[in-house]
């Protein structure tokens, strides 16, 4: 099935993660205007794990999508080799890696975003993308949106739409100042 509900991937995978890590907050989807679960206190470092089969150009294009909306990233590290790539709830910044066996076959990708409940700041995010979908249009932009704290948004052609087939590059309401 080529079009998979990203919403389902977030619901199924993140529910278990939420039970294990009580300082982590996840969402379902929103109507009205896009909403966030938290913000970064300072621009995050993006770390692309060693062995992830995605080009530097593709990553930089996805980051540029968000930079055009006012977001900053401290640095981008490619071929990153750290425990952050294999262990959840460890480290800082945004880690991009291929999905492991915990990701059900029917899902394209999902992001685990940790938010400090006291401050509202995002402390880390881990993007897991299936190798078969890593170069698929809009997937990385969508998942970076989650890493930046954005919830799913039920507007057709919006980058944060939970269902891939209805998504697009519209980012209305998602400028850093929104």
> For 34-91, how does the pLDDT look when each residue is reduced to its tens digit (9 = 90+)?
999 999 999 999 999 999 999 999 999 999 999 999 999 999 999 999 999 988 878 8
Q: How far is CA 164 from CA 36, 97, 114, 140, 141, in A?
A: 20, 20, 23, 12, 12
pLDDT band at 135 (very low <50, low <70, confident <90, very high): confident
Residue 25 lies in a domain: yes
Provide the 3-class DSSP secondary structure of residue 36.
Answer: strand
- Average pLDDT score over residue span 123-134: 92
pLDDT of residue 26: 42
- Report yes or no: 151 and 35 within 8 Å, Cβ to Cβ: yes
Residue 84 DSSP class: G
Domain enclosing residue 28, as ranges: 6-166
The residues with which 11 forms a beta bridge, in sequence order, are none
The verdict on residue 123 lying in a domain is yes
Which residues make beta-bridge pairs with 97? 128
The pLDDT of 133-159, averaged and rounded, is: 94
Q: Are 147 and 127 in contact (CB under 8 A)?
A: yes
* Position 100 in a domain: yes
Q: Indicate if the pLDDT at residue 126 is higher than 70.
A: yes
What's the number of CA atoms in the CB half-sphere (13 Å) around residue 73? 25
Among 77, 89, 72, which residue's Cα sits nearest to residue 49?
Answer: 77
Residue 173 lies in a domain: no
> CATH number, domain at 135?
3.40.390
Using pLDDT thresholds of 50, 70 and 90, give the confidence band for residue 29: low
Q: How far apart are CA 78 and CA 60, in angstroms?
A: 11
Predicted local confidence at residue 32, as pLDDT: 81
Q: What is the mean pLDDT of the chain?
A: 83
How many domains are contained in the chain?
1
pLDDT at 164 over 70: yes
Looking at residue 2, what is its pLDDT? 36
99 lies in some domain: yes
Domain contains 177: no
More confident residue, 9 or 160: 160
User: Given this model, what pLDDT does residue 22 score?
Assistant: 36
| Residue 142 pLDDT grade (very low, low, confident, very high; cuts 50, 70, 90) | very high
């Amino acid at each position: 099935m080529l079009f998979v509900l990203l919403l389902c991937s977030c619901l199924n995978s993140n529910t278990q993660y939420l039970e294990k890590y009580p300082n982590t907050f996840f969402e379902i989807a929103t109507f009205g205007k896009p909403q966030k679960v938290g913000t970064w206190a300072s621009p995050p470092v993006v770390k692309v794990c060693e062995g992830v089969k995605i080009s530097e150009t593709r990553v930089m294009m996805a980051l540029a999508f968000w930079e055009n909306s006012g977001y900053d990233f401290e640095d981008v590290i490619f071929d990153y080799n750290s425990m952050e790539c294999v262990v959840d709830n460890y480290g800082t910044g945004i880690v991009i890696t291929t999905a492991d066996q915990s990701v059900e076959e029917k899902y394209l990708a999902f992001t685990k975003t940790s938010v400090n409940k006291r401050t509202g700041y995002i402390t880390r995010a881990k993007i897991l993308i299936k190798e078969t979908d890593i170069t698929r249009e809009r997937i990385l932009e969508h998942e970076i949106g989650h890493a930046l704290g954005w919830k799913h948004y039920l507007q057709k052609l919006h980058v944060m739409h939970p269902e891939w087939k209805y998504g697009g590059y519209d980012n209305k309401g998602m400028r850093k100042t929104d």
